[in-house]
Amino acid sequence: MMDFISMLKNRRSVYSLDKTLPVAENAVADFVRVAVQYVPDAFNMKSQRVVLVMGARHEEFWNAVYDEMVKFTGGRFSRDKIDSFAAAYGTVLYFYDTAAVEETRRAYPGYAENFHDWVMQSNAMLQFAIWVGFADMNIGANLQHYNPVIDNMVREMFELPDAWTLVAQMPFGGIAVAPKPKPDTDMAGRVKVVG
């Protein structure tokens, strides 16, 4: 249990990332596959999808995000943040597959209203599992949300089915500058223990 607690504490938003990966590239891909396989989903519908972007495609992706955001904001968009993400080793793109969700929703109409929340919860579990696992491998990561502005560009760039809906983008890489330690949180009122 202590190991798990240390792993939880070790996960942070790391914004200063570089291209020095402390593990082999295929270890990252293997780990991401395990996380997708073992993270739970409502009705076991297996809605989560991931595109792991590395190498030249990673920089191409962030340049295209910049172009989309410039269009979206009418030019009022700074490159600084985008450059910091492009400087990382790669990006995990998180999606859910609406086709898988709709099929299960039709099978359980009584729960139809709940499916969107469940899909997002399961996707968040996957994001968290990968974030914690990365931190354990000494890989820094942060979480970004340029969707839905970039959705069409992403589908085209990676030739994805229309049914894949983008949820989050996670740049990852070597930790160039570690984040400052977290201040102690006031936990009063956040957890109620009964019994």
Nearer to ligand FMN, 93 or 104 (CB): 93
Distance of closest approach, residue 143 Cβ to ligand FMN, in angstroms = 4
Distance of closest approach, residue 179 Cβ to ligand FMN, in angstroms = 6
CB closest to ligand FMN, residue no: 13
Nearer to ligand FMN, 13 or 152 (CB): 13
Burial 114-148 (b: 16+ CB within 10 A, else e): ebeebbeebbeebbebbbbbbbeeebbbbebebbe
Distance of closest approach, residue 116 Cβ to ligand FMN, in angstroms = 15
**Tokens 């990561």 sit on residue:** 141
CA–CA distance, 110 with 172 (Å, rounded to integer) = 40
Nearer to ligand FMN, 15 or 29 (CB): 15
List of residues contacting ligand FMN (CB under 6 A): 12-13, 142-145, 179
CA–CA distance, 19 with 26 (Å, rounded to integer) = 15
Nearer to ligand FMN, 12 or 155 (CB): 12
Q: Which residues contact 132 (CB under 8 A, 6 or more apart)?
A: 7, 8, 10, 11
Nearer to ligand FMN, 49 or 105 (CB): 49
Task: Find the length of the chain.
Answer: 195
Distance of closest approach, residue 12 Cβ to ligand FMN, in angstroms = 4
Distance of closest approach, residue 10 Cβ to ligand FMN, in angstroms = 10
What stretches of 44-184 adopt beta strand conformation (E)? 48-54, 90-97, 140-141, 164-177
